[in-house]
Amino acid sequence: METFGIEKLGIIGAKAVYRNLPPSRLTEAALRRGEGTLCNTGALVVTTGRYTGRSPDDKFIVDTPAIHDQIAWGKTNKPISREKFNAIKGKAAAYLQNREVFIFDGLAGADPAYTLKFRVVNELASQNLFIRQLLIRPTEEQLAQYGEPDFVILCVPGFKCDPVVDGVNSEAAIMIDYEARMIVIVGSQYAGEIKKSVFSVLNYVYPVEKGVLPMHCSANMDPDTGETAVFFGLSGTGKTTLSADPRRKLIGDDEHGWSDRGIFNFEGGCYAKCINLDPEAEPEIFSAIRFGSLVENVVMDPETRALDFNDDSLTENTRVGYPIDFISNAVIPGVGGVPKVVIFLTADAFGVLPPISRLNQDAAMYHFITGFTSKLAGTERGIVEPQPTFSTLFGEPFMPLPPLKYAEMLGEKIARYNTKVFLVNTGWTGGPYGVGSRMKLRYTRAMITAALNGTLDSVPYRHDGVFNVDVPQSCPDVPDSIMNPRETWADKKAYDEAANRLAKMFQDNFAKKYPDMPENIVKAGPRAVC
């Protein structure tokens, strides 16, 4: 029996080893093994048990002298010893004895100059299907010449850690050994841990070894000019919706690199949220839920096998993973030129940020580091009014290096290529959440279109002294009154007070999290009026 090198992981005596099976055989294996069922459109539907999302408290980086001084250690990047890592890896490998093992030899990084090889070793056929569809699938020629991988991922959800014995926080552990070029994931069946572990690896390797800026963003392209744009934004800001513009080509929906050659997608697939999925509002995602896709934690009618996208009884984080070629306007391979425009998306539930504003280089670095949006009252227990949320670099859980490293790379590229940067508020206008209303999607689309086609280059601007940004005073297909948030509030004094409170939140967060940032970046942020 061919083992494809899994004995190097300590996996001895596997019942069977399968490499790079097609979706049909992986789906068949998952059904045979009782890992899931088919819905009425042919997609494989699974439930992931205790873990229905990422488990940040269970993520670790192996601390070795070779990488110690490069990592931004803290709550996000927690150390684990090589001894503990090897012990858990050994137990997970032993667990696979006499079991079927599924291997996918895939690629990450659509630009051939920066492609890395990832060998993913799975206990579950369903998870192997997922990563097969999410990574870039090698051609038969590439697979024949694959050789040794750059990184190996061992994913064994059936093995549960003993926190006392294994020195971790729960039965799950997600551990990255950058020096040994290996990832071990145990105890969690949530497939997103595999995808995001790849992202965490590339966020280290690309800046340190390749000079490439990794970005947690979506990207699209003008089909006529080829000009590209990238969209940063946390959950709920509209990143996927706004980048999936039918008038433009989609390069990718989540993770990209920016090199001297341009931008490129890390992946060969998409991992979309399904909660409240509407076939009219998001037809591309809806139609992608078909044979070859993996659906996680969406409730299905046992008789009709129809999916209920509005049912959040298992989790609000319902997901579907599918290959990017399931999207009709996708760019394949996912490569584009140097971005002409960078868009930072935020959903300001305080209703005080301008709907669109232009950022200079220092302000772009500030807002990149800050990664602001806001949680809404009622979405989490104890939240009775909007709460600011700051996620460094719009992807804090996956960034192993100090934030300034990534921000300086962004600033250098903006300056070198004269890339324009805009901060777009997709949140509230006319008052805070509960008083005002959500910014109309058609207005946001019109503002982004104007930013992308250069219309906003020739309109008058005013400087907002509180948020320290330049605000265009007009935009085609958007009422002028919308452009200045203060004018949309009935109570102007209440606006001034709310704007100052949010500016102070920005300042307090930055001073606490980034006390050693260069002065030029600090001064580019909001300025509360005392």
Options 200, 228, 240, 241, the catalytic residue: 240
Options 89, 119, 196, 340, the catalytic residue: 196
240 is known as an active-site residue: yes
Options 105, 177, 253, 254, the catalytic residue: 254
463 is known as an active-site residue: no
Choose among 15, 19, 255, 265: nearest CA to 146. Answer: 19
362 is known as an active-site residue: no
216 is known as an active-site residue: yes
Options 235, 391, 455, 474, the catalytic residue: 235
Options 59, 160, 195, 216, the catalytic residue: 216
Annotate 408-440 with DSSP letters as a single string.
HHHHHHHHHHT-EEEEEE-SEESSSTTTSEEPP
Take residue 472 and report the two structure tokens written for it. 């265009």
- Write the burial class of residue 233 (CB in 10 Å: 0-12 exposed, 13-18 middle, 19+ buried): buried
Options 19, 54, 84, 132, the catalytic residue: 54
Strand, helix or coil for residue 447? helix
Choose among 182, 185, 199: nearest CA to 109. Answer: 199
160 is known as an active-site residue: no
Measured distance CA(424)–CA(357) in Å, rounded = 7
Options 319, 375, 413, 420, the catalytic residue: 319
The 8-class DSSP code of residue 106 comes to E
Strand, helix or coil for residue 276? coil
| R_g of the chain, CA atoms, integer Å | 23
68 is known as an active-site residue: no
328 is known as an active-site residue: no
Per-residue burial over 58-69, b = 16 or more CB atoms within 10 Å of its CB, e = otherwise: bbbbbbbeebee
Options 195, 239, 256, 340, the catalytic residue: 239
Task: Return all residues near 68 (Cβ < 8 A) that are at least 6 apart.
Answer: none
Choose among 215, 202, 220, 230: nearest CA to 114. Answer: 202
Measured distance CA(87)–CA(165) in Å, rounded = 10
Annotate 290-317 with DSSP letters as a single string.
STT-EEES-EE-TTT--EETT--SS-S-
Catalytic sites, residue numbers: 54, 196, 216, 235, 239-240, 254, 319
